[in-house]
């Protein structure tokens, strides 16, 4: 096996000599020497290997609100880790310098970082969680799973920030070791996914439903891009879907800014974010948030029953939190869904 690589867990051998990757819905079929669309899984010597296992391209301590998670341990610290690679090709990707590194340059850089080193760093930094984030955790799934297995023993919990384009078994194989996930729901039109992200919508919706059914706390983020996915009809359809899964699932609506290959339009008007939040609330979602609009009231958590401000946020900072360890509004007793302790 190539130096620095690690045997992958999700593949099948075909009769034609190709290896069929079963990690994500792309289902790449790779002849000897070929890499998958992610750029970091390759057919080497009759095995599918992960070229990025333990090759950390980023290890940073972040507020958990940056992920964003607003209903998971507000004000806590999360050790964020990533490797290069992604199984999508989003034209607007804001982390394209690392997510597309392997496919653009053919290289897989990163500092060798075994799972136990990640857990130790989280403990040293008094992090409540380890976050698989920045790029796409699906493509470093073996490393993430091994980290999660060791983190549970150490009393550190794990969360994931994902595009949701992943098959069922890799999610189930976390087996209770994944506390929460923030899933990008980039649009509610398959055409958008195919043209802008080189993927499909249905597998992402399936992932959101599956994660909630497995007891993983899920928050959803949608980056609103002017003229592409911010129409009221599409937003209503998206909100209705989220309500059908769980009305208490927080929906983060974030402002777009020009990046990567999408430089042909300006940033999202603040008014668009406000309108989208109203659509979400009217559809029946209990918690709808503004993203990338610092100082907006939509950054804070309000009680759906009495309207009291429960968590005041400005950007990634929590100014105050009034939710008790039982997850209840102190004014009216309404249950506020989330993970508070």
Instruction: Tell me the per-residue pLDDT of 70-83, one tens digit each, with 9 for 90 and over.
Output: 999 999 999 999 99
Of 203, 192, 286, the residue nearest 234 (C-alpha): 192
In the block, which residue shows the tokens 């610290």?
A: 77
Mean per-residue pLDDT, 238-252: 98
Instruction: Write down the pLDDT at residue 4.
Output: 57
Say yes or no to pLDDT of 1 above 50. Answer: no
Q: What is the chain's Cα-based Rg? A: 20
Count the residues in the chain.
341
- Among 20-34, 68-82, 314-328, the range scoring the smallest mean pLDDT is 314-328
Identify whether the C-beta of residue 83 lies closer than 8 Å to the C-beta of residue 132.
no
How many Å apart are CA 118 and CA 98, to the nearest integer? 19
Say yes or no to pLDDT of 124 above 90. Answer: yes
Per the rule left: phi > 0, alpha: psi between -120 and 50, beta: everything else, 17 is left
**135-154 per-position pLDDT tens digit:** 999 999 999 999 999 999 99
In terms of Cβ atoms closer than 10 Å to its own Cβ (0-12, 13-18, 19+), residue 2 is exposed
Say yes or no to pLDDT of 305 above 80. Answer: yes
How many Å apart are CA 249 and CA 280, to the nearest integer? 11
Tokens, residue 188: 């509610």
Instruction: Write down the pLDDT at residue 326.
Output: 87
What confidence category does residue 324 fall into, taking pLDDT thresholds of 50, 70 and 90?
confident
Between 128 and 3, residue with greater pLDDT: 128
Identify whether the C-beta of residue 84 lies closer than 8 Å to the C-beta of residue 110.
yes
- The residue ranges of DSSP E strands in 83-206, in sequence order, are 111-112, 129-132, 157-162, 180-184
**43-63 per-position pLDDT tens digit:** 999 999 999 999 999 999 999
What confidence category does residue 167 fall into, taking pLDDT thresholds of 50, 70 and 90?
very high
DSSP, res 267: P
Instruction: Write down the pLDDT at residue 95.
Output: 93
- Give the chain's mean pLDDT: 96
* Domains of the chain, each with CATH number or no CATH: 6-50 (no CATH), 55-321 (3.20.20.70)
Say yes or no to pLDDT of 2 above 80. Answer: no
**172-230 per-position pLDDT tens digit:** 999 999 999 999 999 999 999 999 999 999 999 999 999 999 999 999 999 999 999 99
Asked, as a colleague might, if the bond just before 58 is cis with ω within 30 of 0, I would say no
Tokens, residue 337: 């869904």
How many Å apart are CA 6 and CA 47, to the nearest integer? 10
% of the chain surpassing 70 pLDDT = 99
How many Å apart are CA 217 and CA 199, to the nearest integer? 24
In terms of Cβ atoms closer than 10 Å to its own Cβ (0-12, 13-18, 19+), residue 4 is middle
Mean per-residue pLDDT, 284-301: 96
Instruction: Write down the pLDDT at residue 3.
Output: 43
Opening angle at CA 286, ends 340 and 227, nearest 5: 115
How many Å apart are CA 281 and CA 250, to the nearest integer? 11
């Amino acid at each position: 096996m190539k130096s620095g690589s690690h045997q992958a867990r999700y593949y099948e051998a075909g009769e034609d000599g190709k290896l069929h990757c079963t990690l994500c819905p792309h289902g790449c079929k790779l002849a000897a020497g070929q890499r998958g669309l992610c750029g970091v899984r390759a057919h080497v010597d009759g095995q599918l290997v992960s070229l990025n296992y333990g090759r950390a391209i980023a290890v940073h301590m972040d507020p958990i609100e940056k992920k964003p998670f607003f209903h998971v341990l507000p004000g806590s610290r999360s050790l964020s880790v990533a490797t290069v690679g992604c199984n999508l090709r989003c034209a607007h990707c804001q982390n394209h310098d690392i997510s597309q590194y392997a496919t653009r340059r053919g290289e897989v850089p990163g500092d060798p970082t075994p799972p136990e080193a990640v857990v130790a760093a989280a403990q040293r930094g008094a992090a409540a969680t380890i976050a698989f984030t920045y790029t796409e955790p699906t493509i470093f799934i073996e490393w993430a799973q091994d980290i999660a297995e060791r983190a549970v023993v150490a009393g550190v919990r794990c969360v994931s920030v994902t595009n949701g384009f992943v098959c069922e078994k890799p999610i189930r194989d976390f087996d209770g070791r994944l506390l929460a996930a923030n899933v990008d729901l980039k649009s509610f039109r398959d055409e958008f996914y195919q043209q802008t992200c080189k993927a499909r919508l249905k597998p992402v919706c399936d992932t959101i439903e599956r994660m909630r059914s497995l007891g993983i706390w899920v928050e959803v983020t949608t980056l609103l891009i002017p003229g592409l996915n911010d129409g009221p009809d599409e937003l209503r359809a998206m909100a209705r879907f989220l309500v059908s899964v769980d009305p208490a699932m927080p929906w983060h609506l974030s402002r777009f800014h020009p990046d990567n290959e999408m430089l042909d339009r300006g940033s999202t008007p603040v008014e668009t974010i406000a309108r989208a939040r109203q659509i979400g609330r009217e559809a029946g979602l209990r918690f709808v948030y503004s993203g990338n609009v610092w100082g907006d009231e939509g950054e804070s958590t309000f009680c759906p029953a009495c309207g009291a401000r429960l968590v005041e946020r400005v950007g990634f900072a929590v100014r105050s939190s009034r939710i008790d360890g039982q997850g209840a509004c102190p004014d009216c007793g309404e249950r506020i869904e989330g993970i508070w302790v």
